[in-house]
């Protein structure tokens, strides 16, 4: 049983919200992963900063790859529409708060 195709407008808005959400998550991840006490060039002096930076880069690359795998059916588009409407403002406030 196949699901009906999502409305074109809903699909575009869902994809846009999903893209904005993932880009904001990448920005938050990179901001949190920056070294706390040093510059980016001396990050290898402190092991905790190095691990934080490497994990941040890995998570950011994973999220960037997810940008290319969009929702494929009506249910996924509807989920991203609702999730995007709720999550994008929250992540935007989080990004402003940590910057």
Structure confidence by residue, pLDDT tens digits, 58-68: 999 999 999 99
Residue with the bigger pLDDT between 44 and 74: it is 74
Contact 22, 91 (CB under 8 A): no
pLDDT at 99 over 90: no
pLDDT band at 85 (very low <50, low <70, confident <90, very high): very high
From CA 67, how far away is CA 71, in angstroms rounded? 10
Q: What is the pLDDT of residues 43-60, one digit of tens each?
A: 777 788 888 888 999 999
Contact 10, 41 (CB under 8 A): no
Contact 16, 53 (CB under 8 A): no
pTM confidence score: 0.81
pLDDT at 5 over 70: no
Contact 87, 21 (CB under 8 A): yes
Provide the residue count of the chain: 99
């Amino acid at each position: 049983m196949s699901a009906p195709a999502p409305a074109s407008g809903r699909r575009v808005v869902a994809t846009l919200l999903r893209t904005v959400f993932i880009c904001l998550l990448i920005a938050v991840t990179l901001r949190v992963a920056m070294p706390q006490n040093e510059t980016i060039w001396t990050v290898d002096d402190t092991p905790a900063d190095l691990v934080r930076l490497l994990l941040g880069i890995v998570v950011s690359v994973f999220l960037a790859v997810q940008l290319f795998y969009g929702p494929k059916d009506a249910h996924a588009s509807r989920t991203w529409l609702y999730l995007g409407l709720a999550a994008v403002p929250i992540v935007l406030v989080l990004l402003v708060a940590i910057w």
